[in-house]
């Protein structure tokens, strides 16, 4: 944060992955190495003069020869490594129509909002030139917003919300030095949102959503507010592997449709997560230390989902909103864990397993993810989520134990023999399929093969862990308390008599 900006946020990010991780956004957010984080004035630099010379072709017969890609690369480089200059920001905005991005208005608004938040009072140039450049940036940005209002480019609901939020940020900052410009921008968010409502036709069919939630879930529903996604236009549904954004949108439309048809079918959950993580092949950009440029999910929203998971409130509206929240925040792995728990709460075992396996696949594809944090320092992979995903590896490696059973489940699996592990694995599969009677028959049939009180206790523990994972937590807890009391006072001779017998045989043999 720069001097004089103590009352402003330390940074500005939109929460849109493709915007916040764009190279220009990263360049704007990076401190320049050296004594001054805003760098030095660039007027005498040869690189800056070359940029200005190239821009002088505008409006001349050589206008068609302007090297827009080269300009964008040079401005990005100087902004990231040497200076924070309003003139370079203005040139980046002029390069934007010549670049390939999913949507221009959200990126333009985010660039200006982040630059002005971080460097609004310390960026170059100074004096009258500074005021002129701010006015020019305002004009350029207003042009992008006007095109979005005129619906020259289609924006998704989350992009509209992010753009409106960035405009509000710009308006507040502009108003400090250019009140007229601030007023012009103050009215743009409402115009943008109104235009979006006119564009979106009323949905013809939507999954059933309770209009009047009961009192027990009303507080949760209030905390889970999320923008509703309008029904997609048929012409927007296409599978074009050359257009990542369009492909993701189309897959998400299909996932929404499948979720509305059968909320328990795992295909919807797998497909949505494929769309969410499609194209993500590297870790998020680092801001400093272990902190990335990613904004965390609002704590109020996250807490609302936690409460819903704890209470087993797995209504269609909450499930849909959580699915969309997870889609909009690809690195919110706690959200994936909460989605898993919601699915388990309403008996959708296959859906829960689909969520877990896809999340485990994504997390394991990005080595180095575990220590990373969001911008506020909160971990991307929370301890609960780490255990949830880590125990899945134990499951595959050992005896098919459910992640929610904790480390003890994997340890107890290792304590029983190979034949019994095979029984446990088969019983687990039966339980995942919902055939609890067959699963318990397998486990009970193997009971009695233990040769010591210790082995019998471990086998009983295995059964209790299975019952707990299958939703019978209260019964398992009471039986676990009984088991603990039964073994607490046992001596070594009572606990493992065979051990002492073997020791005794060796001892007698030496006398």
- 220 part of a folded domain: no
Residues 26, 180 contacting (CB under 8 angstroms) = no
The model's pTM is 0.43
Residues 6 or more apart in contact with residue 163 via CB below 8 angstroms: 105, 106, 109, 110, 145, 148, 155, 192
Per-residue pLDDT tens digits of the chain, which is 511 residues long: 444 444 444 689 998 989 999 999 999 999 998 888 899 999 999 999 999 999 998 888 888 899 999 999 999 999 999 999 999 999 999 999 999 888 999 999 999 999 999 999 999 998 888 999 999 999 999 999 999 988 888 888 889 989 999 998 998 888 888 877 888 888 888 888 888 776 544 443 344 333 333 333 333 333 333 333 343 443 445 555 566 677 777 788 888 888 888 888 889 899 999 988 988 888 888 878 888 888 888 787 888 888 888 777 767 778 888 888 888 888 999 999 999 988 887 788 889 999 999 999 999 888 888 889 988 889 999 988 988 987 543 333 333 333 333 334 444 444 455 456 667 777 877 777 767 777 777 777 666 555 567 777 887 888 888 877 776 777 778 788 888 887 887 777 777 777 777 777 776 655 5
Structural domain for 418, as ranges: 400-497
Residue written as tokens 């115009």? 191
Are 122 and 264 part of one and the same domain?
no
Same domain, 146 and 290: no
Q: Are the CB atoms for 373 and 379 separated by under 8 Å?
A: yes
Are residues 125 and 26 both part of a single domain?
yes
Stretch (H or E) spanning 286: strand 286-288
Domain boundary among 395, 418, 449: 395
Same domain, yes or no, for 390 and 406?
no
Residue 32 belongs to some domain of the structure: yes
Q: Is residue 426 part of a domain?
A: yes
pLDDT at 447: 62
What is d(CA 293, CA 375) in angstroms, rounded to the nearest whole number? 6
Q: How far apart are CA 256 and CA 11, in angstroms?
A: 34
User: Is 208 within the bounds of a domain?
Assistant: no
472 and 490 in a single domain? The answer is yes
Residue 309, domain member (yes or no): yes
Residues 53 and 165 in one domain: yes
pLDDT of residue 144: 95
Residues 356 and 472 in one domain: no
Same structural domain, 133 and 275? no
Contact (Cβ atoms closer than 8 angstroms) between residue 78 and residue 47? yes
Work out how many domains the chain is built from and give that number: 3
Q: How far apart are CA 470 and CA 463, in angstroms?
A: 11
Residue 7 lies in a domain: no
486 Cβ contact partners less than 8 Å away, ≥ 6 residues apart: 457
Interacting residues of 254 by C-beta distance below 8 A, sequence separation 6+: 237, 271
Contacts for 228 with CB less than 8 Å, ≥ 6 apart: 157
**pLDDT of amino acid 200:** 47
Among 374, 395, 416, which residue terminates a domain?
A: 395
Q: Is residue 502 part of a domain?
A: no
Residues 421 and 391 in one domain: no
Per-residue confidence (pLDDT) for residue 508, from 0 to 100: 66
Same domain, 364 and 468: no
Q: Based on the fold, state whether residues 168 and 312 are members of the same structural domain.
A: no
Give the position of tokens 């909320």. 263
Q: What is the pLDDT of residue 92?
A: 98
Domain boundary pick from 395, 418, 436: 395
Q: Say if residue 242 is in the same domain as residue 195.
A: no
> Would 35 be classed as within a structural domain?
yes
């Amino acid at each position: 944060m720069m001097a004089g900006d103590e009352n402003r946020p330390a940074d500005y990010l939109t929460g849109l992955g493709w915007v916040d991780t764009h190279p220009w956004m990263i360049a704007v957010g990076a401190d320049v190495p050296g004594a001054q984080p805003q760098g030095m004035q660039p007027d005498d630099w040869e690189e800056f003069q070359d940029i200005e010379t190239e821009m002088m072709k505008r409006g001349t017969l050589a206008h068609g020869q302007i090297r827009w890609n080269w300009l964008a690369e040079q401005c990005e480089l100087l902004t990231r490594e040497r200076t924070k200059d309003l003139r370079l920001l203005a040139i980046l905005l002029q390069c934007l129509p010549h670049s390939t991005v999913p949507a221009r208005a959200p990126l333009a608004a985010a660039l200006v909002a982040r630059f002005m938040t971080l460097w609004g009072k310390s960026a170059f140039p100074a004096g009258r030139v500074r005021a002129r450049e701010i006015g020019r940036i305002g004009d350029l940005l207003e042009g992008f917003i006007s095109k979005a209002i005129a619906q020259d480019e289609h924006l998704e609901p989350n992009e509209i919300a992010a753009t409106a939020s960035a405009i509000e940020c710009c308006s507040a900052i502009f108003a400090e030095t250019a009140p007229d410009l601030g007023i012009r921008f103050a009215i743009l968010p409402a115009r943008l949102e109104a235009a979006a409502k006119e564009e979106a036709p009323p949905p013809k069919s939507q999954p059933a959503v309770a209009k009047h939630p009961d009192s027990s879930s009303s507080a949760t529903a209030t905390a889970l507010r999320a923008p509703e996604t309008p029904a997609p236009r048929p012409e927007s549904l296409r599978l074009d592997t050359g257009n990542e954004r369009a492909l993701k949108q189309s897959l998400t439309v299909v996932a929404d449709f499948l979720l509305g048809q059968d909320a328990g079918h795992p295909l919807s959950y797998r497909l949505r997560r494929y769309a969410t993580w499609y194209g993500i092949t590297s870790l998020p950009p680092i801001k400093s230390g272990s902190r990335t440029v990613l904004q965390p999910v609002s704590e109020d929203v996250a807490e609302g989902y936690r409460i819903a998971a704890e209470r087993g409130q797995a209504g269609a509206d909450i499930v849909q909103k959580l699915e969309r929240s997870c889609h909009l925040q690809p690195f919110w792995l706690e959200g994936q864990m909460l989605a898993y728990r919601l699915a388990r709460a309403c008996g959708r075992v296959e859906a829960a397993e689909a969520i877990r396996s896809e999340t485990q696949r994504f997390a394991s594809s990005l080595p180095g993810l575990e220590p990373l944090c969001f911008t506020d320092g909160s971990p991307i992979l929370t301890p609960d989520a780490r255990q949830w995903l880590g125990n899945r590896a134990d499951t595959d490696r050992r005896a098919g134990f459910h992640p929610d059973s904790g480390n003890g489940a994997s340890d107890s699996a290792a304590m029983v023999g190979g034949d019994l592990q095979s029984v446990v694995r088969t019983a687990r599969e039966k339980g995942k399929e919902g055939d609890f009677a067959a699963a318990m028959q397998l486990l009970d049939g193997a009971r009695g093969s233990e040769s010591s009180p210790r082995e019998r206790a471990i086998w009983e523990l295995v059964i209790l862990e299975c019952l707990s994972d299958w939703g019978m937590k209260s019964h398992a807890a009471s039986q676990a308390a009984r088991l603990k009391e039964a073994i607490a006072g046992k001596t070594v001779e009572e606990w493992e008599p065979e051990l002492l017998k073997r020791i005794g045989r060796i001892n007698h043999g030496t006398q």
